[in-house]
Amino acid sequence: MNHALQPVALPTSGLLPLPDAHGLVSCLNVVRRIANELTFSVAAERALVTAAQAVASVMLRQGGGGNLKWELVFRDPVEFGIRLILIDRDPGRLRCYVSMGKLEVDQFAVRSMAGGGVKVILTQWAGRDSG
């Protein structure tokens, strides 16, 4: 199902802190709002929010938080989505994130960051059910 790209009253990117459980709730609410504005299917929105919550929970439980960067991404004029980049400053959890590879988003990647830390990248395209 293709959605015609409509002007979006949202910034094209943002950075949110994940210092604690309250920050997690705020971040997930922002992700939901963006997915709704972009007319994601219920399944696509749920997959993205569930994956973000799983990754962010590891950050909070094991290391005291991190940051969540979000950005709108485009493949062509009618295919668009959301990319979430969750940044954990502790490189020791790389294997933990790699083991999460079965998250039901369209794209999942884990990268070591120069200087230490880990980036977990989740991408979900609008109009597509994940899986």
More confident residue, 58 or 9: 58
Summarised one tens digit per residue, pLDDT across range 67-98 is 999 999 998 888 899 999 999 988 888 888 99
The one-character DSSP state at 127 is T
pLDDT number for residue 65 = 86
Contact 49, 33 (CB under 8 A): no
61: which 2 tokens?
A: 């439980």
Buried b (16+ CB within 10 A) or exposed e, 24-43: beebbebbbebbeebbbbee
Chain centroid offset of residue 30 CA: 11
Contact 37, 9 (CB under 8 A): yes
Residue 107 has pLDDT above 80, yes or no: yes
In the chain, the domains with their CATH numbers are 15-125 (3.30.565.10)
pLDDT number for residue 89 = 86
pLDDT number for residue 7 = 47
Contact 31, 18 (CB under 8 A): no
Residue 1 has pLDDT above 50, yes or no: no
Summarised one tens digit per residue, pLDDT across range 8-44 is 567 899 999 999 999 999 999 999 999 999 999 999 9
Overall residue count recorded for the chain in this entry: 131
Place 129 in a pLDDT band, splitting at 50, 70 and 90: low
pLDDT number for residue 102 = 85
Mean pLDDT computed over 118-129:
86
Q: Among 51, 115, 118, which Cα is nearest to 83's?
A: 51
